């Protein structure tokens, strides 16, 4: 840890978060909120300052909503700069790796992951719902980036089984709760924070 004026400054880590964010989809925005809360809590526990950078369809709105830096998810130079300057990439949650909402969805999200891997950044696949994958030619893309990720977690057994059928070793896949289930309850609420994240488009 660096010292500044006699005080000890915490270590800082910049983490890029990739998902279907900035489109005002309540399920996906709830996922992002839960990820940011988890990063903050983990950073405090480890004595590390986490600086999230969200890849967003509307960076100004995302920054206003969450108080974090955001860059446009479809602007290559901004993407490259953010990922090149980060300490790691989180991909997820949500149903990102599916092709029901469009044929460009899987190439987009695997492309972001592959860019981080080419730049030698650790990639963490976080609580994703995998599939449906109708175009089986996408299997190789998904398998390629998953087997090269530092950590892979999915939100249900069906997603784990699909990755396994694609050739991702079972011992590399963790099944974890949907991140939305980790959101703190509003004060006075007796019900769990609502629903899972919606399917993500490309």
Q: What does the pLDDT profile of the chain (202 residues) look like in tens digits? A: 444 455 566 799 999 999 999 999 999 999 999 999 999 999 999 999 999 999 999 999 999 999 999 999 999 999 999 999 999 999 998 999 999 999 999 999 999 999 999 999 999 999 999 999 999 999 999 999 999 999 999 999 999 999 999 999 999 999 998 877 666 655 543 333 333 344 444 4
Q: Is residue 143 part of a domain?
A: yes
Q: Is residue 122 part of a domain?
A: yes
Q: Which contacts qualify for 139-144: CB closer than 8 Å, 24 or more apart? A: 139/166, 139/167, 141/106, 141/107, 141/110, 142/97, 142/106, 142/110, 142/166, 142/168, 143/167, 143/168, 144/110, 144/114
The structural domain count of the chain equals 1
Burial of 190 (0-12, 13-18, 19+ CB in 10 A): exposed
Q: Is residue 6 part of a domain?
A: no
Whole-number average pLDDT of the chain = 88
Model confidence, pTM: 0.87
Q: d(Cα 27, Cα 43) in Å, to the nearest integer?
A: 24
Residue with token string 């599939």: 131
Q: What is the pLDDT of residue 173?
A: 97
**Is cis: bond before 196, omega within 30 of 0?**
no
Q: Is residue 142 part of a domain?
A: yes
Determine contact, residues 14/182, Cβ cutoff 8 Å. Answer: no
Q: Is residue 187 part of a domain?
A: no
Q: Is residue 36 part of a domain?
A: yes
Give the CATH number for residue 28.
3.40.50.11930
Q: Is residue 196 part of a domain?
A: no
Please, what is the end-to-end C-alpha distance for the chain in angstroms? 40
Q: What is the pLDDT of residue 36?
A: 95
Q: d(Cα 13, Cα 76) in Å, to the nearest integer?
A: 22
For residue 52, what are the domain limits?
11-180
Closest CA relative to residue 179, chosen from 197, 192, 163: 197
């Amino acid at each position: 840890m660096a010292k500044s004026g006699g005080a000890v400054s915490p270590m800082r880590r910049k983490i890029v978060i990739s998902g279907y964010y900035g489109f005002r989809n309540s399920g996906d925005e709830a996922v992002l909120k839960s990820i940011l809360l988890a990063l903050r809590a983990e950073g405090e526990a480890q004595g590390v300052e986490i600086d999230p950078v969200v890849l967003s369809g509307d960076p100004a709105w995302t920054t206003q909503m969450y108080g974090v830096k955001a860059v446009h998810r479809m602007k290559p130079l901004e993407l490259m700069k953010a990922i090149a300057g980060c300490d790691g990439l989180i991909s997820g949650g949500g149903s990102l790796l599916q092709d029901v909402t469009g044929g460009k969805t899987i190439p987009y999200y695997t492309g972001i992951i592959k860019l981080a891997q080419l730049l030698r950044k650790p990639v963490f696949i976080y609580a994703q719902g995998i599939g449906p994958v109708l175009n089986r030619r996408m299997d190789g893309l998904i398998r390629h980036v998953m087997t090269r990720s530092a950590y892979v977690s999915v939100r249900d057994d069906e997603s784990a089984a699909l990755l396994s059928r694609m050739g991702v070793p079972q011992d590399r896949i963790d099944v974890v709760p949907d991140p939305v289930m980790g959101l703190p309850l509003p004060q006075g609420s007796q019900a769990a924070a609502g629903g899972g994240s919606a399917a993500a488009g490309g």
